[in-house]
Amino acid sequence: MQMKPFNLIIFLVITGAILFFVPHAYASENSCIDCHRTVSPFQDIQKQFNQVRIQHLEKNVTCSLECHEDRLRQLATANYQQWSNSLHALKGVTCEICHEGDPKQAVKEKAHLGIKKPTDLESPVYYTNVPKTCGNCHSKELANFANSKHYQRLEALKLAPTCTTCHAPHTFMVLNPEEFRNFCGNCHSVYKKVAPYDVPVQAEYLLGKVNKLKFNIEITRQDIFWAKKNGTDVAAAERYADDALSIMQNLPPMWHEFNLTHFEDEIDSAGKELKKAQDIIKPAVTPTRTPAPRTPGFIFLSGIVSLLAAVYLIRRK
């Protein structure tokens, strides 16, 4: 059934009035996400590339638009895209948590009200303020980081790593052990004259030990499960394994103290707890067969012969 012209006009008028008088009807509860999903922060760079291309064409210089577009794509990885792939996005940590502003406002100027530039000393993402901003959620990490020499240098407004040095802004990825050699080596190197120089290698080694500890805990828990199935009393073994797991769970926050000696001691402590558990569920193996009797060796036979020869000579005299 087709709508009558008069009814169609009434419908369009009402729809237009709603869109005109209720501009927030389609605004989500978090305008940061809606806006940054579509807005690229690199529009100025794109204009610069276009201007370069125009200058090239005016001078009859061959210019490949694809070349500039490739460069643009490398630079213009949107902050939204990085954030959307992060754990922060998964857990609902949105832009205003770090940058402030009002995410309920649909107008850009109102949504950005109160946001300061990252170079502003009062900005929550100014490099010396980043630990406190991250610490609003990551309190354990901040408590350990505050005990580090890195934090002391940061407080003194000197060049020092902050949270976003290792956990890049908007991606917040946790580095792999192999990546720490390059990251730590940016400062701890002979060329930069920041001692100790072996920190990058130590960091990679210790984080590798953490991964090995995780594996050993998993294997031990599986062994406990099967030992329990076979009727073994595993109560004590479970306590030791739980203690090892508790130590391991405290390692990530403790890492931010950057006390590598203490960190390794904790890893070794967890390993000792696992050894206690393994000793309970894996007793010494009972021999399945009697070992063959050992025949006298050459040295033993030589000794007997020498002794008999000496006795013979004494009796002959």
Helices 199-229/177-185 angle, 10° precision? 160
Position 183 confidence tier, pLDDT thresholds 50, 70, 90:
confident
Highest mean pLDDT among 22-36, 64-78, 91-105, 159-173: 91-105
Taking the CA of residue 111 as centre, how many other CA atoms within 13 Å lie in the half-sphere pointing to its CB? 18
Q: What average pLDDT score do residues 96-124 get? A: 89
Q: Is the pLDDT assigned to residue 256 strictly greater than 90?
A: yes
Tally DSSP H helices, then E strands, for the chain: 18, 0
Highest mean pLDDT among 39-43, 123-127, 172-176: 123-127
Q: Residue 295 is encoded by which pair of tokens?
A: 């025949």
Position 279 confidence tier, pLDDT thresholds 50, 70, 90:
very high
Least-confidence region, from 65-74, 135-144, 189-198, 268-277: 65-74
Specify the amino acid at residue 74.
Q
Place of tokens 């000794």: 303
Question: Is 40 or 81 the better-scoring residue by pLDDT?
Answer: 81
- So what's the pLDDT on residue 23? 45
Helices 235-249/260-281 angle, 10° precision? 160
Q: Is the pLDDT assigned to residue 14 strictly greater than 90?
A: no
Q: What average pLDDT score do residues 44-62 get? A: 60
**Chain Cα centroid distance, residue 115:** 28
What would the pLDDT profile of 113-132 be if each residue is shown by its tens digit? 888 988 899 999 998 999 99
Q: Is the pLDDT assigned to residue 224 strictly greater than 60?
A: yes
Place of tokens 């406990």: 224
Q: Is the pLDDT assigned to residue 19 strictly greater than 70?
A: no
- So what's the pLDDT on residue 311? 63
Position 108 confidence tier, pLDDT thresholds 50, 70, 90:
confident
Rg, the chain, Cα only = 35
Q: What average pLDDT score do residues 107-115 get? A: 88
Phi/psi for 209 (5° steps) reads -65, -35
Taking the CA of residue 302 as centre, how many other CA atoms within 13 Å lie in the half-sphere pointing to its CB? 3
Sign of CA dihedral 79, 84, 85, 88: positive
What would the pLDDT profile of 282-309 be if each residue is shown by its tens digit? 864 444 555 565 555 556 666 666 666 6
Q: Is the pLDDT assigned to residue 170 strictly greater than 90?
A: no
Q: Please provide the distance, in angstroms rounded to a whole number, between the alpha carbons at the two ends of the chain.
A: 141
Highest mean pLDDT among 31-40, 122-131, 235-244: 235-244
